[in-house]
Amino acid sequence: MRVSRFAKYHGLGNDFVILEADAPLDAALARRLCERHRGIGADGVLTLLPPRVAGADRRLHIYNADGSVAEMCGNGLRCVIAYLGRAARVDTDAGLLDGRIEADGRVRVTLGPARLGELLTLEVEGERVEGLVVSMGNPHFVLRPLAPEDVARAAVRLGPPLERAPSFPDRTNVEFIAARADGLEVTVFERGVGFTEACGTGAAAAAVAAEQFGIVRGPRVRTLLPGGPLDVELGEEIAIVAPAVKVFDGTFQGL
> DSSP characters for 179-211?
EETTEEEEEEEETTTEE-S--HHHHHHHHHHHH
Burial 38-74 (b: 16+ CB within 10 A, else e): ebbebbbbbbbeebeeeebbbbbbbbbbebbebbbbb
Active site residue 34: no
Closest CA to 192 of 204, 207, 180, 202: 202
The single residue of 199, 207, 209, 224 carrying the catalytic annotation is 199
Residue type, 214: G
Q: Partners of 142 in the beta sheet? A: 132, 175
Q: Where are the alpha helices (DSSP H) in 89-236?
A: 151-163, 200-213
The single residue of 30, 45, 73, 206 carrying the catalytic annotation is 73
Tell me how far CA of residue 25 lies from CA of 61, 63, 126, in angstroms: 10, 9, 41
Burial 105-141 (b: 16+ CB within 10 A, else e): ebbbbbbbebeeeeeeebeeeeeebebbbbbbbbbbb
Closest CA to 69 of 60, 78, 77: 60
Q: How far apart are CA 31 and CA 33, in angstroms?
A: 5
Catalytic sites, residue numbers: 73, 199
